[in-house]
Amino acid sequence: MKAWRRQQVEDIAFITLLDFRRQTGRPLRAPVDVDLVGEIVCGLLWDWDELPEPPRTKVLAGLFPDQGRVVMNEKHAEEFRRKPGLERFTKAHEVGHWLLHVDHNNLQQNPQILIEADAHQPSFWSQQEARTSLQIDWRERHADWFAAALLMPANLFIAVAEEFDLREWKSLYALARRFDVTISALCVRLEQLGLAAVDANGRIHVTASQRHS
């Protein structure tokens, strides 16, 4: 497994967005159209079906690389409807797997099934090799990094975030709606980019520039 650093993943997400802009002629704006990015840049097909779930594992989506297809799990359609941004983040996560973890030169000889589970029990299934829990965890972390960078690209995100008072939860929720992501994904991205952090008690800590905005 390639040991991706977060900045490398950020760069790949940025290049993906540049490729999307080049092919479509569309300016980069929020919210990023993850469906079109997957279709146009990666050639992926989106589908819905019921996916099997191992015991104590919630499977939100499956990536079938040899088919170039991402299947969203219909078993959790209500959860996707109930949590704005979850479907988009899950799709961006699978695009991350496609770009970071799939051997595109060897798909027919080594068909793979990448299964996306919930954050507590990420899972990787392969027909050819077993994966350790540590490797599974890093694959999921890579894909999460990619999803955040794709849906909230740093330059765009920072510029838009400056329009909001990040000291207030209502502003964080408004910013999450602007990028069409979950509030949890937004809070992680704010911390990644050094804009704000939320502690275990739900208190928001912002940078000096935000405190004086």
Domain map (residue ranges) of the chain: 1-151, 153-213
Q: What is the four-CA torsion angle of 51, 147, 33, 43, rounded to 10 degrees?
A: -60
Distance CA 154, CA 43 (A): 25
Q: pLDDT value at position 55?
A: 85
pLDDT in tens, the chain (213 residues): 577 898 999 999 999 999 999 999 999 999 999 999 999 999 999 999 999 888 888 889 999 988 899 999 999 999 999 999 999 999 999 999 999 988 887 766 555 666 554 533 333 333 333 344 444 578 888 999 999 999 999 999 999 999 999 999 999 999 999 999 999 999 999 999 999 999 988 999 998 565 545
Number of H helices, E strands in the chain: 9, 7
Distance CA 12, CA 177 (A): 25
Looking at residue 83, its amino acid is K
CATH architecture of 153-213: Orthogonal Bundle (1.10)
Q: Which residues sit opposite 63 in a β-bridge?
A: 70, 114
| Helix, coil or strand: residue 54 | coil
Q: Structure pTM?
A: 0.86
Sign of the CA dihedral running 205, 160, 155, 80: positive
Beta strands 125-126 and 112-117: pairing type? antiparallel
Q: pLDDT value at position 52?
A: 87
Q: pLDDT value at position 125?
A: 32
Q: pLDDT value at position 115?
A: 56
Provide the CA 106 distance to its chain's centre, in angstroms. 25
Q: pLDDT value at position 100?
A: 92
Provide the CA 67 distance to its chain's centre, in angstroms. 21
